[in-house]
Structures are given as structure tokens and as C-alpha cells.
Amino acid sequence: MAEYETTWKRNRPRKPLELSTLKLRLTAAIGEMERIIMTDEPDQKKIQAANTMAGLINRYSKLLEVADLEERITALEENQNNNMRRVS
């Protein structure tokens, strides 16, 4: 029965995160990886943290690109709507 519960928890639908929330979570995760790298953890754990941190930074940079594009598209749509109102 525990296996079913674990599968259900893993497969349940999740609410999508807002970009701002996702940025905060990635920032916290990167900070945690930095903490592991800077402590007296075993070398293997530091290596894993460094690899994880590299992946997180890559995803974070892509997230920033998406957030920037979203802002630009929103501004263009608002500008287009304002121009359409003037024509009408």
C-alpha cells in the first residue's frame, strides 16, 4: 500500500508555479548548493553539489530569458491594444 501512496503523490497534478516563485526556489537551491560546497562535506558530495549547481544556474538563466520575453510580449500586447482603441 505504501508503494501506491508514493506513486499517487508523485503522479498527482500540481499547480504550475509562477515565474517569481520559481525564481525564488531556484535561488534558494543555488544557495544551498553553495553552502554544501563551502563546508567540510566529503569531496564526493561537494562534486555532486557543484554539478547540481551548474545545472540550476543553467536553468535559472533560461528562466530569466523566459521572464524577460514574457514582459516584452505583455508590453507589446498592451501597446497593440492601445493602438487599436485609438483607431476605433
Instruction: List, in sequence order, the alpha helices (H) in the chain.
Output: 2-11, 19-38, 43-87
pLDDT score, position 19: 82
- The pLDDT tens digits of the residues spanning 20-45 come to 888 899 999 999 999 999 999 999 99
pTM value is 0.65
Grid look-up 483607431 returns 87
Short-list 49, 54, 60, 52, CA closest to 26: 60
Distance CA 59, CA 52 (A): 11
Percent of the chain residues past pLDDT 70, beyond the cut:
84
